[in-house]
Amino acid sequence: MAPSLQGKRVAFVATDGVEEVEYTEPRKAVEQAGAVAELVSMKPGSIQAFNHLDKSGTYDVDVTAADADPDRYDALVLPGGVANPDALRTDPDVVRFIRAFFDTHKPVGVICHGPWTLIEAGVVEGRTLTSWPSLRTDLANAGATWVDEQVYTDNGLVSSRKPDDIPAFCAKIVEEFAEGKH
């Protein structure tokens, strides 16, 4: 029997440049498990997703990071794409929002280039995670241990490398989110 996320709220933090499949597939997985998902971003309106370097769909923002209350959410997902986390990590409201999930021990899922925002939030030191390979040195410099695995879980932090890993990533975030705080 698949884990249920009935009654849970999951924040997805993304902006222009998000890798579409890294946003849409995890969102679909948590919604199919019963969660309510909301898109948190840097600005109101909509964001432009990409399929690698090509523009794809746009997605409506539910709330800005400046107005989002981390206490309203049970879990967090940080999709990748190169431009997305690079922009997010420069926004103090986004960084504050992300850090709050770690301060309260809520589960977090991050894929591909998404860990850049975790580095900026100062939450990777002493943790083990995976990512797109080009982040290996950045993560090591921030005090993390990098592993080359399809999906890796460290005390509620679920990480994955790339779009090919999405099925395993989705299954693991649903499981960890169902468990709750770690």
Determine the 3-state secondary structure of 108 from DSSP: strand
Catalytic: 170?
no
Closest of 139, 178, 133, 158 to residue 2, by C-alpha? 178
Do the beta carbons of residue 113 and residue 80 sit within 8 Å? yes
Cα 26 to Cα 7, 38, 91, 108, 111, distances in angstroms: 17, 12, 23, 12, 10
Cα 53 to Cα 7, 49, 69, 90, distances in angstroms: 36, 10, 32, 21
Catalytic: 113?
yes
Cα 2 to Cα 76, 107, 170, distances in angstroms: 20, 18, 12
Q: Which residues contact 76 (CB under 8 A, 6 or more apart)?
A: 10, 11, 12, 13, 98, 101, 106, 107, 108, 109
Q: Which of the residues 52, 112, 170, 182 is marked catalytic?
A: 112
Question: CA neighbours within 13 Å on the CB side: how many for 31?
Answer: 11
Q: Which of the residues 52, 113, 170, 182 is marked catalytic?
A: 113
Which residue numbers are catalytic?
112-113
